Amino acid sequence: MKTDPVEALTLVAPSYYRQFKCIAQRCRHSCCRGWEIDIDPVSLERFKALGVSGISEGPDTPHFTLTESGDCPHLRSDGLCELIIRHGEGVLCDICRDHPRFRSFWTGRVEIGLGLSCEEAARIILGQAEPMRLESIGLCDSEGVELSAGGSGGAPGFEDLPEDERWLMGLRERMLEEAAQYDDPMLARLAEYLIYRQLPDALYDGRLEERIEFINRGIEEIAEEWERCAGFEERCEAARSWSEKNEYRV
């Protein structure tokens, strides 16, 4: 049977994107704690074949049943993942493999980024000395799953996008340029991150003004917290905590 070829889209990311690697047992705010992880159908079959325990199957979406203390049942006391230890990283379900990445979908391209609610991502995002630079990092399918890595050229221009996307991309460029002007480089990186992450979804939900207010509120509230922080690590933690409390409710 002939199958349709997968449409390959350009995958765009901030230039720091490839620096990320999960710090696993060294993470103080592990995403293996307190989050109920849904399991995608392909991974569910794999888990069943391997006899993986601790899965709740319904009536809700299949997910790992958290322990009484709210941990993933496969999180070991030394902070490592029992599933990875036994079967290798390839065993993970989509959500575990993907965190802390997020995606924004445009015509012909998908933008990917690291979410600030992960402490290691926060260090990378906020520790950049230079303004955010977007680049093409390879090809992906329509879900934003990477098909091939390649190139680190500049991001494709937005002249060929439909008018509404071109307009929003133009607005975002202007907001990013303004954000880069903050005297405090860490505040500039924070503002760039919020703009890059939060603005594009206005294409689908039409909540542009609300999203801009959210970005401005984030910058203000985190900057206020930072006045009480002693250094880089404390500032990263304040930003991470704000993101965890606020960004997943936008």
Binding site for ligand SF4 (CB under 6 A): 22-24, 27, 29-31, 99-100, 118-120
Least distance to ligand SF4, CB of residue 225, Å: 20
**How many whole angstroms separate alpha carbon 12 and alpha carbon 163?**
20
Kindly report the length of the chain.
250
Least distance to ligand SF4, CB of residue 120, Å: 4
Angle between helices 208-226 and 232-246 in degrees, nearest 10: 150
For every residue of 57-82, DSSP letters joined together read -SSSS-EEPP-TTSB-TTB-TTS-BH
123 in Cβ contact with 236 (< 8 Å): yes
- Among all chains, which residue has been given the structure tokens 């399991």? 39
By beta-carbon proximity to ligand SF4, the closer residue of 100 and 144 is 100
Least distance to ligand SF4, CB of residue 242, Å: 15
By beta-carbon proximity to ligand SF4, the closer residue of 94 and 180 is 94
Least distance to ligand SF4, CB of residue 87, Å: 18
In the structure encoding, which two tokens stand for residue 156, read together?
A: 């494709």
In the structure encoding, which two tokens stand for residue 127, read together?
A: 């520790």
By beta-carbon proximity to ligand SF4, the closer residue of 119 and 165 is 119
Cross-strand pairs, 134: 14
By beta-carbon proximity to ligand SF4, the closer residue of 27 and 212 is 27
Least distance to ligand SF4, CB of residue 27, Å: 3
By beta-carbon proximity to ligand SF4, the closer residue of 44 and 121 is 121
